[in-house]
A and B are shown apart, each in its own frame.
Chain A
Amino acid sequence: GAGVSQSPSNKVTEKGKDVELRCDPISGHTALYWYRQRLGQGLEFLIYFQGNSAPDKSGLPSDRFSAERTGESVSTLTIQRTQQEDSAVYLCASSLISPLVMSSYEQYFGPGTRLTVT
């Protein structure tokens, strides 16, 4: 596809349920990032995948949050036992990342998944 896609676009779930959010990065992009954005707030880094390296999980807020990435393609962010404070827009971004290409550090964002926990 032409850009980063995310699904679902909206998700309403009951407190305590598990949810899975999906991100399809731009083909060929080696880096993939997940962010959380609460209403009217900035971007909160969650996790970062880069090629075959171990992911940087330093932003995950609790052990209820986990993410996986299959090779250099699709990623899923899973939130277990959702809480009301998990309500936010979850944004995914991808980058090419090539030291030979200066513009490759740009992040391309998907439209996000709006998660509402009732």
Chain B
Amino acid sequence: GQQVMQIPQYQHVQEGEDFTTYCNSSTTLSNIQWYKQRPGGHPVFLIQLVKSGEVKKQKRLTFQFGEAKKNSSLHITATQTTDVGTYFCAALGDSGGSNYKLTFGKGTLLTVNP
């Protein structure tokens, strides 16, 4: 089955430093999504990328989808303590059909030292 690798597993930064998490797949993806889960909370949708080379920004967050549609990244500029949480990528395969199951990466836990 489809696998999505996400690195790093953990990242600890000082407040104000940048942070990046990467998501890689061996197969072409039709759609990649990013979710954030605060400690003790449930995953919350952040963004969806569907086009090759697509870049989207949400304030300090920048999301990219690779040209080959096999990888993606989430970059946070100047982290704040409110950014603490686990960031998951989730991919929808490109095999067509009507199965809309997402494959989640294992997540990157971000902690921020104030």
Binding site for B on A (CB under 8 A): 31, 33, 35, 41-43, 45, 48, 50, 53, 56, 58, 91, 93, 95, 97, 102-103, 105-112
Contacts and interface: CB of A to CB of B under 8 A. Distances in A.
Interface of B: 1, 31, 33, 35, 41-45, 48, 50, 88, 90, 92, 98-107
A109 B88 contact: no
10 contacts: A45-B101, A45-B103, A50-B98, A50-B100, A97-B100, A102-B50, A103-B48, A106-B45, A107-B102, A110-B42
B32 to A, nearest CB: 10
B98 A102 contact: no
| Dominant SS among interface residues on chain B | loop
Contacts of B107: 42-43
Contacts of A107: 33, 35, 43, 45, 90, 102
Contacts of A103: 48
A93 B90 CA distance: 13
